[in-house]
Amino acid sequence: MTSKSIVVIGENLLAKELFGALQKSEKVEVTFNQFPINHHVDVVIETTNLDLEQKKSNLQGIESRVSAHTLMLTTTLHVTATEAASWLSQPERLIGFGTFSNFNNGALIEVAAPLQADPEYLQVATNTFQVIGQETEIVEDEVGLVFPRILSLIINEAAFALTEGTAAVDAIDTAMKKGTNYPLGPLEWAEKIGIDDVYSVLLGLYKQFGEERYRPAPMIKKLVQAGWVGGETDKGFYHYQNRKSKEYSI
């Protein structure tokens, strides 16, 4: 059986995890952040979220380097797949998907077709994720899709509670774990999946709807500006709390 050729593009933790998962499959040949891309690649997966100019540049650069039939998969945490597809001259072969890093721990991957999509590519997209044993769900094309959107709003509310002095970081997480039986507290969860990706979802929702409920908490914005986004950085809400505690003890 001929292997499917896949390229993963992105500098975030999700890109690295997708690359690692694809490497384990005997059904694909995968490369990571390879430019120029081979014209005969079957699928390119692009994962930039926060920097939309970079995302647009990535997608347009990919389109110019691959064949007219290559499936382009792109994350839709900050923009809809329809908007991302509008940046291309061949929008029909772009499909959006949404998940956070640590997806191997049980979170499914949501897939959404832009208005411009050829339905045939939607099936190719779901097949691509099934190669790595990942369950998929087809949802409507909206910023953040379903799971990332709802989880980001929960994290945002927890960050507002922290900013307003309702409780400390660890107390907020403990209350939510014991009160709702969440596997992780919302702030702990944010650090695990990447605070910058949460911020991307919130910015996208706030831009699209303009409603106050989507406004990112100032604390989230501040942590992103500091580069304390969790994931591989090992810094986030808990690092902020520990640092503040030391400052007050001086």
Question: What's the pLDDT tens digit per position in 140-156?
Answer: 999 999 999 999 999 99
The amino acid that residue 91 corresponds to is P
The residues of the chain scoring below 70 in pLDDT are 1-2, 35-36, 103-107, 246-250
Q: Where are the chain's structural domains?
A: 4-138, 147-244
Beta-ladder partners of 97: 75, 111
d(CA 155, CA 172): 10
Can you give the pLDDT at residue 86? 98
> What predicted TM-score, i.e. pTM, was given to this entire model?
0.93
Residue range 4-138 in CATH 2.60.120.10: no
Can you give the pLDDT at residue 234? 86
The three-class DSSP label of residue 43 is strand
Measured CA to CA in angstroms, residue 75 lies from 96, 98, 235, 243 at distances of 6, 5, 24, 33
d(CA 196, CA 128): 26
Pull the structure tokens for residue 31. Answer: 């490369």
Q: Could you read off the pLDDT of 7-22 as tens digits, one per residue? A: 999 989 999 999 999 9
With contact defined as beta carbons under 8 Å apart, do 68 and 60 qualify?
no
Can you give the pLDDT at residue 2? 64
Pull the structure tokens for residue 232. Answer: 């591989």
Can you give the pLDDT at residue 36? 66
Token pair 């050829």: residue: 118
Q: Could you read off the pLDDT of 93-119 as tens digits, one per residue? A: 999 999 998 766 666 899 999 999 999
Sign of the torsion formed by the C-alpha atoms of 89, 95, 96 and 99 = negative
The amino acid that residue 194 corresponds to is G
With contact defined as beta carbons under 8 Å apart, do 173 and 179 qualify?
no
Can you give the pLDDT at residue 103? 67
| Contacts of 107 by beta carbon, 8 Å cutoff, 6+ apart | 99, 100, 147
Contacts 24+ apart (CB under 8 A), 20-28: 21/104, 21/132, 21/134, 22/131, 22/132, 24/132, 25/131, 25/132, 27/1, 27/3, 27/131, 28/3, 28/4, 28/131
With contact defined as beta carbons under 8 Å apart, do 88 and 63 qualify?
yes
d(CA 190, CA 177): 14
With contact defined as beta carbons under 8 Å apart, do 76 and 98 qualify?
yes
Token pair 């945490």: residue: 77
Residue range 147-244 in CATH 1.10.3720.10: no
Token pair 């690295």: residue: 16
